[in-house]
Every structure is written in C-alpha cells, then in structure tokens.
Chains A and B, each alone.
Chain A
Amino acid sequence: MTDYKPENVGMVTKYVVVESFTVTPADLAVRAYEISRGVMIKETCFGLVIMGKEEEVDLIITEIRKMDPEHIFIKDRGFPPGDSRRCRANLGGARPGFHGMEYEMTVLPYISHALAELSHRDATTVPRLTTPREKPKLDIYTLKRMIDAQEP
C-alpha cells in the first residue's frame, strides 16, 4: 500500500439536479458562473456539479435555486467532479450511484408538484399517509386462497 495524499481538502461538492420545463442545465451553469468566485462548476446532463468552499457553494446554490425552487434539487457528493475513481470517462458505463439518482428522478415530478401545492397550502391540512409499517402483511388465508387459485 502506498501513501494517500488527499486533494481538495476542506472543499465540498454538491449536485444540482434540475427537472424543469423552463430551466435547463445550461441556464443554471450560466447563472452559477455569473456569481461564482473560484468555485469549480461542471455542467452535466442532469444539472451541475459544484465544488468549492462550503459557504461559497451554499451561496451559489441559494441563488440558482431561486430560478425554479420547486424543480431544482440538491444533494451532497463525496468525490470531487471528474475524480478518476468515480468518473465514467475512466471507468466506462454509468457512474456508480447514477442508477439511484436515475430512479429518484422518475419520482421528482411528483415531488415538484407537491412542493408547488404546499407553497400555497398548509401541510397540516393534507391527509396523513398510512405508515408502511402499519400496512397489513399478506395473511395466511389470502396466501392459501392464492395457492388454491393456481392452475394445476
């Protein structure tokens, strides 16, 4: 094993995912460049990857979120942009972790719709969900009925 000398110590990296009809990743990148001061910004197919000092990254995120608050989502990232241990340019195939994000991006339109609804409605007036742990499990009688219903 060799010594490991970390790079970009003290920096934070964040993903900005945009799922909007009116704002594209390119629009976000232009706005982010306008207000960035030495922060690394990488435009991707789903949004941006921003790396820099925490306060500077937070400032940029606060500003670009204003462009479409209900359709822009932020997530932390462990690795810096383009890191050879994670970047698909070096590894081939999708970046590890992309599949999780890809699945959640199918849910984002429902979340955006709800956020827009809740911007003018009190959350306490929305009926509560049934907790998944309270949902009835498959009982033995239903299972028996399903088995009996099988064709021989």
Chain B
Amino acid sequence: MAKVFIYPATSLILTDMVTRFGHTPLSSAVAIRERIQTAGLESVPLQITPEEPKKGLRWAAVEVPSGVRGRMALYGPMIEECDAAIIINDADLAFGCMGCARTNELIKFLIRQKEIPKLDLDYPKNEAEGLPFVAAIKRFLTELGASK
C-alpha cells in the first residue's frame, strides 16, 4: 500500500479513487485533523499556530511570506512522505488568495522535483473523457501496487 499525495489536496474524487484502488491518500484533511487533535495553544479555526511558519522554513526561504510557509508546514511533510503523486492541473477549486496560489505553485514544483511516479490529469468535461480519466488513475495505482 503506497502513500499517494493528491493535488488538489482536498479532492473528493482523488481521495476516493486512491482509497478505492487500495492505497493511502495524503490529503489536507489528514494534516488538519492532526492539528485539531493535538493539545497546545488555542488558534482558531485551523489550529495553525505561530510555530507553523517556522516549520515551513524547511521548504520555503525566510523571505517567502509567512502564509506560504504556514501552509507548507501542512503539505511539506506529506510531500516528503509520499511514494507517488496524482496532480489535476486545471483545478480551479484550488483557487484562493496569493498565499494559496503561491503554495500551490510550490507544492507542484516540489512534487516535480521529487523522483516518484506522477500522474498528470485534467478534470473530465464529459462521459467520454471520464472513462480515460478513471482508467488512467486505475492503471497508475495498479502499477504502483505491483511495484511495491
């Protein structure tokens, strides 16, 4: 069972597909749950404390805005931990403020730098595109399972 990083990290479809085909998805919900369930200082709503931008220095330089570094404290460990990645390139739902946009760019950059199996896709626009979309994910995850 491989750990598969998914982008967008909140994707319902990718989380389901990875679980359905027998692997573990690394999504933002898992990272948030870890923080929500850890005692410390109260910092609503996501329990992102001033410690997080410091941890983010591992993946982003000190002159990078703290918003990006704070987000990287969530995603960085998952990118390091993952054995494979599935990226949806036209994910408009990952749109957000400049912090989100730059973090998304950095996440994609770090994944592309890492020598792991990667699958690049676009969201299907109709049934005809849906079949190769799911087949590509199934093939990718099956081959991943065979190589593990």
Contacts and interface: CB of A to CB of B under 8 A. Distances in A.
Interface of A: 1-6, 8-13, 15, 17, 73-79, 85-86, 97, 99-101, 103-105, 107-111, 113-115, 117-118, 123-124, 126-129, 131-133
B129 interface: yes
Contacts of B97: none
Contact of A118 (B10, B36, B90, B134): B134
A69 to B, nearest CB: 9
A104 B127 CA distance: 14
Contact of B134 (A74, A99, A115, A133): A115
12 contacts: A11-B37, A13-B33, A76-B30, A79-B36, A85-B46, A97-B10, A100-B8, A104-B11, A114-B130, A118-B131, A123-B142, A129-B129
B147 interface: no
B23 interface: no
Contacts of B133: 110-111, 114, 129
Contacts of B121: 129, 132
Given A4-B43, A12-B33, A126-B131, A133 B120 contact: yes
Contacts of B93: 99-100, 103-104
A123 B137 CA distance: 9
A36 to B, nearest CB: 20
A76 B29 contact: yes
Contacts of B27: 75-76
B122 A114 contact: no
Contact of A1 (B11, B42, B138): B42
A107 B17 CA distance: 13
Interface string B117-137: 000111110110111111110
A13 B93 CA distance: 22
A2 B120 contact: no
Given A74-B15, A110-B127, A131-B120, A4 B42 contact: yes
